[in-house]
A and B are shown apart, each in its own frame.
Chain A
Amino acid sequence: MPPATPSGIEVPLIATGDMAPEAGPGLPGAYPFTRGIFADGYRGRPWTIRQYSGFGSAEESNQRYRFLLEQGQTGLSVALDLPTQCGYDPDDAMARPEIGKVGVSLFSLSEMETLFKGIDLAAISTSFTINGTAAIIYAMYLAAADKQGVAREKLTGTIQNDILKEYVARGTWIFPVRPSLRLITDSVLYSNEVTPRFNAISIAGAHVRDAGCTAVEEMAYTLANGLAYVEELIRRGGDVAKFARRLSFFFYVHMDLFEEACKFRAGRRLWAKLLRERYGVSDEKALHFRFGVVCGGSSLVAAQPYNNIVRVAIENMAAVLGGAQSIFTCAYDEAFQIPTEFSAEIALRTQQIVQHESGIAATVDPLGGSYYVEWLTDRMESGMLEVMGEIDAYGGVVKAIEEGWLQRRIAVRAKQRKDATDRGERVVVGQNRFRREAQADSYGEVFRLDPQIAARVLAKHAEVKRSRDASRAARSLDALEAAAGSETENLMPLLVECCHAYATVGEMVDRLKRCWGEFQEPVRL
């Protein structure tokens, strides 16, 4: 069988001029942006080095952020613990084992204030990987800015706020699909007015990719979700030429260098075409496909884990060749633990080496015009359209998610990927090829979470509830619940007031659950 990319595209032995598109890829900064959204590429603005971190309580994470900023990191990316992501207060029975584990606990404004103590919110850009409770965390960030005396319009950053893919892969859903979409449109429309430099949504393919689907499917599912949000925002009265300027995207980069780079070239072009052709968008900035990436994830393995440093460096280069706006490189030990400070620093240095030593970013889109790259970009774009067509044929993404159809497709793909790995068709060096059976792996430093964290978070939670103005908190929650029952009122101002009143994430979510109920997962095998 001739070799194929991981998406199943047969790779030619030699690419020739007659395979590449006749018109050529055009110029960077010009529609349809195959070669990038900026004419001056990374010379005008280097990509943001944005390492995902956060653990324990707000105090610990605050210290880690200050360290990362001192080390030359250029943006913050906040990891939140699962109780905060799923809308439980730390004292809920479901929350207790998970407090502060995969991220920081932000149960109320008190914690957001502590998290950014000594960090000027006007001077940094902050990204929150938050979805089910995104509107609440965004409201909390606004309240923290108010407390710091920073004008809201100065805030820059991103909330992921992409619930559709949570139902498919990442699993931090709370409410049914339709009220969740309402929360998203509320926050995007509000953000356009109040924080015009803030990305109120980052439509993410990363998680479905890491769960098992191919690069072509990753982009196709993401663009399909993107269009679903566009439709919903238009239905709620949004102006596509305006809100499209603040839509951003997020992906995984795995190991096939050219397929990954071409995935971004194809996706960037396809998004611009879809917006222009379907919605008549002509504003250049609104057509810009801006995206962040994460390098590593399930492409990293526990066997001989130091090899992961090399994998991440290759993926980092693929992201740069694809024109990413911000990059997060995983630490080599993430295949088996939460990274240590030591492994996290190597991941940061990897990006700095690529950015400052490799010369890769000196010219814009250095791959542009390569017969193979332009051919592969075309092939991936048509593959994406094909997958999007299958979703349309099923009845659209919302239906596909509510009925579990998309979830099942991902599970089947994950099984295929695992089978291909077990059979050795998908080579993983050190694991299924060139494995040294007798070797005891060296795993390096062990991450240890302070076992007292949960107790400290619980104590603070109790203290905040005791010391706040109870009647203001109750009033704000009542107002939220009343507004949630109406179809049209934008909930953002009410959530900001709840945050100012030190209402907790769990309290806000409980009030919304009363109105909307909870998502019933369609479990299918």
Chain B
Amino acid sequence: MSAVAAGPAVGPLAGKRILIAKPGLDGHDAGAKVIALALRDAGAEVIYTGLRKSPGFIVRVALDEDVAAVGLSILSGSHLELAHEVLEGLRASGAGAIPVFIGGTIPPQDHAVLFEAGVKGVYTNDMPLARMIEDLARVLA
């Protein structure tokens, strides 16, 4: 069961459809929901997966829903493996162009590793939401 929330017709992300997903077994969803609400307020149409989704499921939803971006929320320390699996899955499905973003508890030394792997943004909880949206809008422009 996923939730879909459509934002206002104007805003920096108006017209963009964005998937927010919780891969793996991590149950901390406050951050994912805060991001989903913020993206909606910025005009995006947000699809939130709910908890405990496999990378395969997330890739499938991204393709089926034809999203402009995928945001992964991971606080369990499994971000490297799970991000890799989602990126690989998208590439293998010919959707490697869909940008993937990550949020959660991500140690500083892993940020570069994630960018290297193809992630387009790492948003930890100390980043103001306005800055995250600005960054996303720039990548999705």
Contacts and interface: CB of A to CB of B under 8 A. Distances in A.
B54 A411 contact: no
B15 to A, nearest CB: 18
B3 interface: yes
B130 A422 contact: yes
Interface stretch (A91-99, A271-279, A316-324, A342-350): A91-99
Contacts of B129: 418-419, 422
A525 B38 contact: no
B51 A414 contact: no
Given A171-B26, A428-B126, 6 more contacts: A82-B24, A86-B52, A97-B85, A101-B76, A411-B37, A525-B46
Contact of A521 (B25, B28, B50, B126): B50
A522 B82 CA distance: 24
Interface string A71-94: 000000000001101101000011
B27 interface: yes
8 contacts: A94-B24, A96-B81, A98-B26, A171-B28, A171-B51, A336-B105, A521-B50, A523-B2
A303 B124 CA distance: 11
A102 interface: yes
Nearest to B32: A411
B88 interface: no
Given A302-B126, A336-B107, A521-B50, A411 B30 contact: yes
Interface of B: 1-3, 5, 24-31, 33-34, 36-38, 40, 46, 48-52, 54, 76-78, 81-82, 85, 105-109, 124-126, 128-130
A88 B2 CA distance: 23
A418 B41 CA distance: 14
A335 B78 contact: no
Interface string A272-301: 000000000000000000000000001001
Contacts of B51: 171, 521
A170 B51 CA distance: 10
A523 B48 contact: yes
Nearest to B75: A102
A352 interface: no
* Residue among A96, A298, A523 facing the most chain B CB atoms (10 A cut-off): A523
A211 B73 CA distance: 14
Contacts of B36: 525
Contact of B25 (A98, A303, A428, A447): A98
Contact of B37 (A172, A302, A415, A431): A415
Nearest to B127: A422
Contacts of B1: 520-523
A449 interface: yes
A262 interface: no
Contacts of A95: 25
Contacts of A303: 126
Given A98-B76, A102-B76, A171-B52, A410 B126 contact: no
Nearest to A430: B126
Nearest to A86: B25
Contacts of B40: 525
B37 A97 contact: no
B6 to A, nearest CB: 10
A169 interface: yes
Contacts of A153: none
Contacts of B130: 422
A441 interface: yes
Given A102-B76, A422-B128, A525 B25 contact: no
Given A86-B25, A97-B78, A171-B28, A525 B48 contact: yes
B52 A102 contact: no
A523 B50 contact: yes
A188 B116 CA distance: 50
Contacts of A411: 29-30, 33-34, 37
B124 A336 contact: yes
B44 to A, nearest CB: 12
B109 to A, nearest CB: 6
A301 B27 contact: no
